[in-house]
Amino acid sequence: MTTRLAASAPATAPAPATAPAPATAPGAPVSGSVRFARFAYAPNERGLCGPEAGGALFEAGLGRLPGPELRELASGFEAAWPWLGLLAESTGRPDPLDAALVDAYWIGSPLAGAVRPRRLDEHLRHAFAPRLRRPTAASRRLEGLAEDMPVHHSSHVLRVMPLIGLIRSGLRPDLLELMGRCLVRPGRVVAVEEDALTVEARGLEERAGRLALGPVRLEEVAWRIGGRSFVEGIEPGELVAIHWNWAADRLTPGEARALAAVTGRNLAAART
C-alpha cells in the first residue's frame, strides 16, 4: 500500500510578475554557496534554523544573491556552518562554502570522513553539550559518537538531534516526525504538477526502538514558488533531494547512492 503525503511548501518567496528564466540551466553545476542555499532554504523559511533571511535564501538558491550577503547568512546557521568549518579545517580548504565541502555535508563523499575522531569529539562537546537538557546524563551519550561518524547532515539529524532536538526549539514530542522531515532523502520523480512533485521515497520510522527507513512510498513535495524553482525543468524519472518537503536540488544517480549510503551508515549507528 502506498502512502501519499501532502506537499508542504516553505513560506512564499518574492516573485516577479512574470517568472524569469532560471538562473542556472537545468542540471547545470552550481557553486557551493548556491547549493548551500538550496538545502538551507526550506528549514530557514520555517523558522527552524539560521538567521531570519526573508526571501534572500530563495534568491541565493537561484544564484541571484551577492556572495558576501550569502556568506553572512550561511555563517548564521548554528549547526551547518560549524560542521562546514570543521570540514574546511580538516581538509585544508580555506572556504567552508567550497563546493566539495558543501556536497560532502549535504549529500556525502569521502571528504565527510576527513575529520579525526579526537577533533570531532571536541567539536561535539563544544558545539552541542551546552544545549543538552540533562547535561550529565546526555553528555555520556556524546561519548563515542565521534568514532565512525562522518561529518554529514544525516549524522547531525540521526545522532545529534535525538540529544539536543532542533536548534531553535530544543526537544519536542514530535521529534521523530521532525527528524524525518529534516533528513535529506533521495526521491525519484513520478509526476510533475504546477507546484508539487509526486516522488517515490522512503520515510524515517522507528522499529523496536531503532531508527530505520521504511518502504518506498509516494510523497508529494513542493518544488516551485511563484513560478520559480531550484529544479526547473524537472521531469519524471529524475532524482531530487528532499529536505523539509521541498525539492532542494537535482541529484545524479551517483549522488543519490552516496546519500543513501551515508544515511544508512548513520542509521546503523543511531541510538534512540
Tens digit of pLDDT for each residue in 27-62? 567 899 999 999 999 999 998 889 998 899 999 999
pLDDT (tens digit per residue) in 88-142: 999 999 999 999 999 999 999 999 999 998 999 888 888 776 656 555 455 556 6
C-alpha cell at 41: 532554504
Alpha-carbon gap, residue 23 to 30, rounded angstroms:
10
For residue 272, pLDDT over 60 is answered with no
pLDDT at 27: 57
Question: Among 15-19, 238-242, 260-264, which stretch is predicted with the lowest mean pLDDT?
Answer: 15-19
Average confidence (pLDDT) over 220-232: 96
For residue 14, pLDDT over 80 is answered with no
pLDDT (tens digit per residue) in 191-225: 999 999 999 999 999 888 788 999 999 999 999 99
C-alpha cell at 201: 521515497
pLDDT (tens digit per residue) in 169-186: 444 547 888 899 999 999
Give the percent of the chain with pLDDT over 90: 60
C-alpha neighbours within 13 Å on the C-beta side of residue 51: 12
pLDDT at 145: 74
Burial class of residue 140 in the structure, from the number of CB atoms within 10 Å of its CB (0-12 exposed, 13-18 middle, 19+ buried): exposed
Question: Between 237 and 27, where is the model more confident?
Answer: 237
C-alpha neighbours within 13 Å on the C-beta side of residue 159: 27
Alpha-carbon gap, residue 152 to 109, rounded angstroms:
9
Distances (CA, A) of 145 to 100, 139, 140: 24, 11, 10
pLDDT at 174: 73
- Whose cell is 511548501? That residue is 9
pLDDT at 126: 80
Alpha-carbon gap, residue 157 to 213, rounded angstroms:
14
pLDDT at 109: 96
Three-state DSSP at 204 gives strand
pLDDT at 168: 46
pLDDT at 217: 97
Q: What is the pTM of this model?
A: 0.86
pLDDT at 5: 43
pLDDT at 111: 96
